[in-house]
Structure 1
Amino acid sequence: MSSDQVQAGGLTVTLRGAAGDASRTALETLGTDGVAARLAAKDATLWGPGAEAEASVRLGWVDLAESSRALLPRIREIAEAKRAAGLDRVVLAGMGGSSLAPEVIAASRGADLVTLDTTDAHQVRRAIGTDLARTVVVVSSKSGGTVETDSHRRAFEQAFTDAGIDPAERVVVVTDPGSPLAGLAAERGYETVLADPDVGGRYSALTAFGLVPSALAGVDVEALLDEAAAVAATLADDDNPALALGAVLGGFGGHDKVVLAGRTPAGLGDWIEQLVAESTGKSGTGLLPVVVEGVDAPGFTPGPDTHLVVYGEDAAPGADTADTLVTGPLGGQFLAWEYATAVAGRLLGIDPFDQPNVQESKDNTKALLESSNNGTLPTGAPLLVDGAVEVHASDPALLGDAKDLAAVLQALVRSVPEDGYLAVMAYLDRDAEGDGRAATVRSGLAALTPRPVTFGWGPRFLHSTGQYHKGGPANGVFAQITGEVTQDLPVPGRPYSFARLQLAQALGDFGALAERGRPAIRLHLRDRVAGLEELSRALGAVRP
């Protein structure tokens, strides 16, 4: 099989067979239009008149490898002061673009960082109740009003106060200038680092959002910027690897399922997933990222619409089977994928910087919280109960004549169209239940269907693939998993608890899917341990 390889700035992109053909064709068009140089120069007209206003204030990421260096002295000062005070446990409270990149950075550099990007009461309780005496909390929100992060901040402030600790000694804020969080931080004396407002959340890996929590955890973030700078120096060239990656992402006709396989850097697939899904999944089109455990993952079957991308700092397992192979250091990977996604947006004819459908679920959640009586949410009566699992559906016809959980799962996988996908969304405890049955649901369902199966933790996927689910092609089928909360936690200063917020988010997104005619079921675990065990047994009983 023929292959093309483009290498520069420590980054290598290798394209094989039809992927190479597609990239060459797209590169001709991009070269004729001068896209490489124009994007490197932050030309906001690249995506058409309808996107120009948004793009004009969203291209700051292009030169972050240099502009973010101005933040380094301040970041070092804060990090050194916290370590000198004995605060060596770092908790990051943030969602989506505010959490995914730092999680990857810390994991890839061997640093300890507790990422709190959930509203699960059990997980939040554990984050607050562990080693509070040596904990510093980074409260990270671009808008300054993210409901999950605001709730985390309130809970930690209460915990610090109850323990006789001044929150001003323990809270570090990262936000945009002029946000409500910036104002609150100033009032309360919190250490604050302001981010570049001309960078969207999912493009913010190399801004203060990625650098501050990583540096507090002990990462040499200047080295990360150096890696990005090597790639940045090549971006105006017509033969740069990031342009080749963007050309194949946006120009590989019919291959709209981008399967991401790679074990290092740890978590990079989840970061790419948000970047690509939220940037391209709109106006009924887009690229669906499917993060798998590896090219040898159980149930993974390449299809005619599947683009297999293997990534890694070095040649990764399965590299010889990839349509596209991307290798290079983490800082370079961040910048290259951002640049490639912007290029893919041009080829797909969409605005890669907006997220028009994300707000739907947020609005539904707010309405549910405001209208519920006595804290009771309208969950509706289950259509079926099998042991510890309740089954709800957006349309009862989706279940057919199913009488048990195995039949429900069989009906679910059989409802996925030939060009579609199945998305699993688990509103559970990622730490406690992520290493058990919940983590095997994707591979278990993938073994039952040749169609791609994605997996997302709620509510964090709402800041990622949630845009694609509602704005992308109408060919998805959805399985939501919720669970009973045994130890709830109030959100200080709010008329709801974490359990109520989490369920409202699940119901809000379920409603948004139903309103758009997306087939969805909700599996509610009356007992999480027993319910997950029953779900596992049911998966084993389904006939392919």
Structure 2
Amino acid sequence: MTSVVTAGGTSVTIRGVVVDESEAVLNRLVSDGVPRSLASGNAKLWGPDAAPEAARRLGWLRLPESSRPLVGRLAELTGRARGAGLDRVVLAGTDGSTVAAEAVARSSGAPLTVLDTTDPHRVAAVLADRPDRTLVVLSVKQETVGTDALRRVFEEALRAAGVPDRELARRFVVLADLGTPVADLAEKAGYPVVPGAPDTGGRFAALSAFGLAPAALAGADVTLLLDAAAALLPALQQPYDNPALALGAALGASALGGRDKLVLADQGSGLPGLADWVEQVVAESTGKDGKGVLPVVVEGVAAPGFALTGDMRRVILGSRPDEPGPAREAGVSVAGPLGAQFLLWQYAVAVAGRVLGVNPFDQPEVRESEDNTAALLRSAEGEAPTVIHGAPAVVDDAVEVHGPAELFRGVQGLSDAMDRLVERVPEHGYLAVMAYLDPVGDAGAAEARALLAARAARLRRQPPPVTFGWGPRLLHTTGQYHKGGRQNGAFLQITGETTTDLPVPGRPYTLGQLQLAQAFGDLRALRARGRPAVRLHLRDRAAGVEQLRSALA
């Protein structure tokens, strides 16, 4: 059986048993009047405890129209920047608001440099590239120590490149909610501030200034995104011809039925970066109170980890319902333009939150890792912080393995250590790889996801899914699920020695120390929950990445 729901140029196709599984949930949502209530902004849909938060977080439903005035403002700022010879746009921010902007830029072909890391190697490379032509877009939906550090480093670097203080204001555009400390600071410095939507949370802000402005300043036509979202908007009130409601019912029904791993593969969507954004909105919205849907982004339908298992729901991004091949075997496929997909998935996770009984608009565990980082950075009398390094359980050439001694007793090297970790993943659990490295210079580390998934398939009768994320970005994507969702994960964190470091002006620490504190703060939160958590430290990054790939292969 196949169900195809289409509206506004967007389609959701549901196949096989998923149709039957989601039918009862869909009918209950319709009988409860959820479509019309949600479209009208009813904050009581998620229960009385969630209502106060939801009442302040439903502005995303109006963004396809309320963001229209931004277009003129962004065109004005773009013209001013080009007139000043600033044609290289860098988006700086570590709070998760960069994920949507990156998807917009990549899908439209806009040349946007995204810097959502505190890794000193990556930051140094971005600073060295055409500083005389650089416009910095500082994105601060949630104020974090990482974004504060990037602002300070960029200001100092531009001054060092010869930009006088009176000209510094022309080099920055700040995205922030009005009335926040960062917006006040920017206004005092004379930086243009493009306000966000204060009644919209960060992961629901894709169609606000946070998602649109960086790509627009880099040359993208964001009107197309708003038009695509507006075309879908009328369908959100409908009970049955509503693709977002059908998707939300399928997600919620799957999780209730034990298929709480949402494995995402792109197949010709033409929207690079969409899967990463879906990962964020699903994980951070549903992963709490010991419940949730874990998104697992894989490299394609032929990648290790896409084979169907008993606790997995597979979703294809881009396939049309009449296409042959893996799309016909997937439970769900979604197709449509990017602006409409933003709105579709936001609505769907809001519906799934109601089905699962969680508040999709809060993120209670995200703050925990930030607080741990701050505690590690806190120091007396302005001295640099000290992060205490423990003795490794295993040393294999360029890689140190840090973890419980009993886990690695008798282990001979890195390959054996990885087998031990895979074997420790709980039944019906998952393995998360978290790399606090340079996402460009150390890009090969991302291959660990597919290699570990293939290895797990050889070692386990029902292999666990494997996720991958770059830190600290992952703190605001899957990080909420890791700590607030079902406690059945195992974790592999990767850190690396820094050969290039940068001081953070006005702070008693460097970017390298900050990055390590972020990694340790996250690891502390995971271990506090009793989860298996192992850290690999690369004493030489290039050699360590290559050694890890070789050991896993």
Bucket of the pairwise TM-score, normalised by the shorter protein: over 0.9
Match of 1:398 among 396, 401, 407: 407
CA distance in 2, matches of 1:30, 1:484: 52
Q: Distance in 2 between matches of 1:211 and 1:510?
A: 33
Partner Cα separation in structure 1 for residue 218 and residue 339 of structure 2: 17
- Following the alignment from structure 2 to structure 1, what is the Cα–Cα distance between the partners of residues 136 and 16? 48
- CA deviations 1:319-342 (Å, max 9, x no partner) are 222110100000000000000000
Tell me, in whole angstroms, the C-alpha distance in 2 between the residues paired with 1:78 and 1:313: 37
SS in 1 for 2:351: helix
Instruction: Report the equivalent of 2:460.
Output: none
**Separation (CA, whole Å) in 2 of partners of 1:8 and 1:24:** 19
Letter in 2 for 1:274: Q
Counterpart position of 1:528? 541
Give the distance between the partners of 1:103 and 1:171, measured in 2 at CA.
18
CA distance in 1, matches of 2:384, 2:343: 48
Assess, with a 3 A threshold, how the Cα gap between structure 1 residues 223 and 465 changes in structure 2: closer, same or farther: same
**Cα distance in structure 2, aligned partners of 1:332 and 1:321:** 25
Choose from 256, 281, 295 the match for 1:289.
Answer: 295
1:423 to 2:422 alignment: no
Secondary structure of 1:193 counterpart: strand
Structure 2 residue 50 is the aligned partner of structure 1 residue 51: yes
AA matched with 1:360: E
Instruction: Give the structure 2 partner of residue 279 of structure 1.
Output: 285
Instruction: Kindly provide the CA deviation profile for residues 85-104 of structure 1, in whole angstroms up to 9, marking residues without a partner as x.
Output: 22111100123441001100
- Give, in angstroms, the shift of residue 405 of structure 1: 0.9
Matched, 1:108 2:102: no
Partner of 1:512: 525
1:475 to 469, 483, 488: 488
Count of matched residue pairs: 535
Whether contact under 8 Å (1:138, 1:174) holds in the other structure is: yes
The 5 Å alignment of 1:62-73 reads: 62-73=61-72
CA distance in 2, matches of 1:314, 1:505: 41
Give, in whole Å, the separation in 1 of the partners of 2:95 and 2:26. Answer: 31
Q: Report 1:29-108 matches (<5 A).
A: 29-108=28-107
The answer for the alignment partner of 2:174 in structure 1 is 173
Compute the displacement of 1:66 (Å).
0.4
Aligned partner letter, 2:332: T
Cα deviations across residues 198-237 of structure 1 (Å, max 9, x unaligned)?
0000000000101111110111111110000011121100
Match of 1:344 in 2: 352
Give the structure 2 partner of residue 492 of structure 1.
Answer: 505
Match of 1:327 among 332, 335, 340: 335
1:14 aligns with 2:13: yes
Deviation at 1:400, TM superposition (A): 3.8
Tell me the residue number matched to 1:227.
228
Kindly report the root-mean-square deviation, in angstroms, between the aligned alpha carbons of the 2 structures: 1.4
TM-score, normalised via structure 2 length: 0.95
One-letter amino acid matched to 1:329 = P
CA contact (8 A) 1:3 1:20 kept: yes
Alpha-carbon contact 2:59-2:200 (below 8 Å) kept = yes
What SS class does the counterpart of residue 510 from structure 1 fall into?
Answer: helix
CA shift digits 1:387-425 (9 cap, x unpaired): 1111111x3323242121111101001111220000000
Whether the aligned pair in 1 keeps the contact of 2:95 and 2:147 (CA below 8 Å) is: no
Shift of 1:432: 1.2
Give distance in 2, aligned partners of 1:486 and 1:318. 44
On the 8 A contact 1:13/1:325 being kept in 2, the answer is yes
Letter in 2 for 1:507: F
Partner residue, 1:380: 390
Q: Secondary structure at the match of 1:79?
A: helix
Distance, in Å, in 2 between the alignment partners of 1:146 and 1:69 is 29
* Corresponding residue of 1:466: 479
Q: Distance in 2 between matches of 1:294 and 1:96?
A: 27
Deviations 1:413-454 (A, max 9, x none): 1111220000000011101111x2x12100010001121000
The CA deviation at 1:493 is: 1.0
Q: TM-score, normalised by structure 1?
A: 0.96
1:369 aligns with 377
Do 1:398 and 1:519's aligned partners in 2 also have CA atoms closer than 8 Å?
Answer: no
User: Distance between the aligned counterparts of 1:230 and 1:5, measured in 2?
Assistant: 18
Q: Which residue of 2 aligns with 1:119?
A: 118
Rounded to whole Å, the distance in 1 between the matches of 2:520 and 2:66 is 41
1:447 aligned to which of 454, 467, 485: 454
Please tell me the residue identity of whatever aligns with 1:433: D
Q: In structure 2, give the amino acid aligned to 1:426.
A: A
Aligned partner of residue 517 in structure 1, secondary structure: coil
Is the 1:96–1:202 contact (alpha carbons within 8 Å) kept by the matching residues of 2?
A: no
Contact persistence 1:361–1:505 (CA under 8 A): yes
Q: How does 1:288-327 map to 2 (within 5 A)?
A: 288-312=294-318, 318-327=326-335
Alignment deviations for residues 33-68 of structure 1 (CA, whole Å, 9 cap, x no partner): 000000000000000001000000000001100011
Partner residue, 2:469: 456
Does the 8 Å CA contact 2:379/2:385 hold for their aligned counterparts? no
SS of 2:535's equivalent? strand
For residues 234 and 204 of structure 2, what CA distance do their matches in structure 1 show?
18
**Offset at 1:314?**
5.9
Matched-pair contact (CA < 8 Å) for 2:140–2:175 = yes
Return the letter of the residue paired with 1:243. L
| 3-state DSSP of counterpart to 2:291 | coil
Q: Does 1:255 align with 2:259?
A: yes
Alpha-carbon contact 2:434-2:471 (below 8 Å) kept: yes
Q: Contact 1:97/1:203 (CA < 8 Å) preserved in 2? A: no
Query: Are the aligned partners of 2:314 and 2:332 in contact in 1 as well (CA < 8 Å)?
Result: yes
Measured in 2, the distance between the counterparts of 1:312 and 1:133 equals 40
* Unaligned runs of at least 5 residues, structure 2: 457-462
Check conservation: 1:91, 1:115, Cα contact below 8 A: yes
- Deviations 1:169-219 (CA, angstroms, capped at 9, x unpaired): 110000011111111111111011111100000000000101111110111
Q: 8 Å contact 1:259–1:309 — kept in the other structure? A: yes
Cα deviation digits, residues 510-544 of structure 1 (max 9, x gap): 1111111011000000001111122122213xxxx
How many angstroms does 1:70 deviate by?
2.0
User: Structure 1 residues 368-377 or 403-412, which shifts more?
Assistant: 368-377
Q: Which residue of 2 aligns with 1:502?
A: 515
Q: Is the 8 A contact 1:274 1:465 kept in 2?
A: yes
Does the 8 A contact of 1:258 with 1:289 survive in 2?
yes
Provide the secondary structure at the position in 1 that maps to 2:549.
helix
Conserved 8 A contact 2:376-2:386: no
CA distance in 2, matches of 1:36, 1:504: 44
Conserved 8 A contact 1:47-1:346: yes
